[in-house]
Amino acid sequence: MLDAIDAVDWGAIPGHPDWYEPARAARGLRALADAANLVQAAEAGSLLGGGGIVHGHSAAVFPAAAVATPLLLDVAQQGHPAARDTALGLVDEALSSCPHAEYTRVTTSYGASVPICCTIAHHLRARTALLAGLGKRGKALLADAAEHWRFEVRECVADGNDTAAFGVLAGCFPGGVHAVELHLVGEIVVLDEVALEYHPVEGAREACLRVMGRRPGELPPGAVLFPAECGERVH
């Protein structure tokens, strides 16, 4: 775990110069991984929560939190119980906090400009079994992550003036009509009216969205949709 922490160039991750302290991220994660009691876990949490991945006093989250989340989940799985509780609390705080205006997005394997909260949610879903096994706190994190859904377009067909988009849904698309961000080849377009056409079959991820007033060619295979409200979250 320590090797994975040290492999990250925390100083190369952008963040608000008056708030983000890369050294706190590196030191805090190392200290949390090594923590063997409540005091050590609290000291590590103070480093991470005071400018390492979030700034607790201003409720701001930094791009470093997206990189740190899988490492914090490793701590939750392998570390001391006090370190586990601290790690889960930090992930919860990062998911619910808002980023500074110029540092709202990160580059991922599924998008070049993904909101920090959606990236954290992706990491949480990747560790569903772990979190589900950690009781109420882990399950609550999964429920919060589900609100930061992601939909990958596989195929589209015209349906009157609308488009039916078939693809893979991660998380839970809420009821009603919502604005979404369409990400494709580094570009972002806001689609104002999108609704869930039908609920996925239990245990499956395939779903269909109705994109109102748009033609199929505007949603090519490989396009990825995210909640527009996540992209608008700014501290």
Q: Given this model, what pLDDT does residue 198 score?
A: 81
**Each residue's pLDDT tens digit, 75-127:** 999 999 999 999 999 999 999 999 998 999 999 988 889 999 999 999 999 99
Biggest alpha carbon distance in the chain?
A: 62
pLDDT over 80 (residue 203): no
**Each residue's pLDDT tens digit, 19-50:** 999 999 999 999 999 999 999 999 999 999 99
Contacts of range 40-46, beta carbons closer than 8 Å, 24 or more positions apart: 40/82, 40/83, 41/80, 41/82, 41/83, 41/85, 41/86, 42/82, 42/86, 44/83, 44/86, 45/86, 45/89, 45/90
**Radius of gyration for the chain, computed over Cα atoms and rounded to the nearest angstrom:** 19
**Each residue's pLDDT tens digit, 157-178:** 999 999 999 999 999 999 999 9
Q: Given this model, what pLDDT does residue 57 score?
A: 72
